[in-house]
Amino acid sequence: MNGGYERIFNGAEGVDGIMANDAIKEASGTFEALEKLLDGRVENYEIFFSGESGIGVEVRGGSVDALKVRKSAGVGLRIISKGRPGFGFSSVLSSDALKDMVDKTIKASSVASEDNYLAFPGAAPASVSESLQVFDDSFGEAAEEEKIGRAMKIEESAKAFDNRVKSVRKASYQESVISTRIVNSSGMDIRHSATFFSGSVTAVAGDDNESQMGWDMDTSHKRSSIDPDRIGKGAARNAVRMLGAKKIGSMKCPAIIENTVACELLEALASSFLGDNVEKGKSMLIGKAGKKIASAALNIWDNGVLPGGWAASLFDGEGYPRKKTPLVIEGVFDGYLYDTYWAARAGAKSTGNASRGSFKGVPGIGISNLYIEKGGKTFTDLLKEVGEGLFITEVMGAHTINTISGDFSLGAAGFRVEGGEAAYPVRGMAISGNLLRLFERVGSCGEDIRFIGSIGAPSLFVHEIEASGS
């Protein structure tokens, strides 16, 4: 125990030693050793190394509840031998461990099925050359006390916002640095490093035997962009604004979907853009390329090179250049996302969307920075468009949206809109329908785009939504 809280280490003891990007330099001998072990034994190979260092702080009641320090590094090996795949990984980088990994990977490959679509991308220039703004050079310079202080400030700001804020749950602050290097037999040798900072908190407000919860968070690649005061006040504001919520009757009406809720709805659609889900029959967008699937007010992009984007990088998880890919333009579906394998199976080209969680797994298709393009309407403009209707600020159970049919029925909360103004908070209702039909009813997009991690959206004005009340 240390200062009344448990200090938990995952991996090496602390982050004050080698940072993740320095670990790549340390691991240069690993690449050389593996290339020697593979020479003459396999036709094609890919070596993927990643290193991570980070710290997470949680506070409660003005004291540190948990402090978790993590540091990890390891290597993943993919091979193609006589058209057969093999994969292995190791977090131990000794000579014996690397030899054992290579031997087992080759052995596993010998009994695998042949697959003519297997290939590793060759070296290629990135699609952009400017800085992606994903690395903070000050990482590692801040003292542990400062990081704890940031979590404390989040909690303090939430409590101080309003005397109706009765408690604060899970005020937390995290920061980490992740670096990767990919080397393959086709001549590729690329590196990427990024820093990640985030804070979040849940506040509970109470009044007249009633309590409401509010949550807020922020993420950035730059420490200076994380404002603990804004996060704390945001959560408290979200809790307090729902006090006195009323129940309403069932209604069909125009509505505003707040940007954070729009992010949840877009996340439910995300898997339908992935080429492997199309091939497997698990997408609601099968056969819809070139067809109108949403309102002309909607433009949706996957932008792997978005400056400052949470998932921004010059290359994807297998080293293919990332780019900005149009998915829906003025309501028309433009096409799917691919890595090299599923692109080959579909007779298409990779969009630079290979995703890799860690050295312990092989790449698959994933989104990068997926977002609905912002419009030019202010929130006041959107309220006037609604006139009489609803402002949806929260949905419950977004994970239950059927990602193949798009059907949904979700608990919801928000505000009754009367005379073009948010009149009073409402709870205890459910909204139902179909995701694509909901996007077809979007009349306009707000200018208030917000990202929750790698998914972003502005607030949306919807011509009609079906709400079931009491």
pLDDT in tens, 368-388: 999 999 999 999 999 999 999
Task: Work out the pLDDT band at 123, boundaries 50, 70, 90.
Answer: confident
The residue-averaged pLDDT of 27-37 equals: 91
Q: For 317-334, what is each residue's pLDDT tens digit? A: 999 999 999 999 999 999
Position 88 pLDDT exceeds 50: yes
Paired strand residues for 44: 80
Question: Could you tell me the maximum CA-CA distance found in the chain, to the nearest angstrom?
Answer: 76
pLDDT at 90: 96
Paired strand residues for 10: 70
Give the end-to-end CA distance of the chain in Å, rounded to a whole number.
51
- Of 19-33, 286-300, 399-413, give the lowest mean pLDDT range: 19-33
* H or E, element range at 301: strand 300-303
Paired strand residues for 55: 69, 175
3-state secondary structure 93-154: CCHHHHHHHHHHHHHHHHCCCCCCCCCCCCCCCCCCCCCCCCCCCCCCCCCHHHHHHHHHHH
Task: Work out the pLDDT band at 140, boundaries 50, 70, 90.
Answer: confident
pTM reported for the whole predicted model: 0.93
209 exposure class (CB count in 10 Å sphere: 0-12, 13-18, 19+): exposed
C-alpha 88/C-alpha 201 separation (Å) is 39
The 8-class DSSP code of residue 398 comes to: G
Q: For 141-178, what is each residue's pLDDT tens digit? A: 999 999 999 999 999 999 999 999 999 998 999 999 99
pLDDT at 296: 98
DSSP state string for 214-265: EEEEEEESSGGG--HHHHHHHHHHHHHTTTT-B----EEEEEEE-HHHHHHH
Between β-strands 364-365 and 354-355, what pairing exists: parallel, antiparallel or unpaired? antiparallel
Q: CATH 3.30.2290.10 in the chain, residues?
A: 6-225
pLDDT at 20: 52
Q: Are 192 and 167 in contact (CB under 8 A)?
A: no
Position 4 pLDDT exceeds 80: no
pLDDT at 31: 94
C-alpha 70/C-alpha 13 separation (Å) is 8
Contacts of residue 395, defined as CB under 8 A and 6 or more positions apart, other chains included, come to: 261, 264, 265, 410, 411, 412, 431
Q: How many helices (H) and strands (E) does the chain have?
A: 10, 21
The residue-averaged pLDDT of 18-29 equals: 64
Q: Are 115 and 171 in contact (CB under 8 A)?
A: no
Task: Work out the pLDDT band at 69, boundaries 50, 70, 90.
Answer: very high
C-alpha 457/C-alpha 301 separation (Å) is 11
CATH code linked to domain 6-225? 3.30.2290.10
Paired strand residues for 436: none
Instruction: Tell which wins on pLDDT, 22 or 168.
Output: 168
pLDDT at 131: 83
Tokens of 301: 């992009």
- The mean pLDDT value of the chain amounts to 93
C-alpha 132/C-alpha 190 separation (Å) is 15
Q: Provide the CB-side half-sphere exposure for 37 (13 A, CA).
A: 24
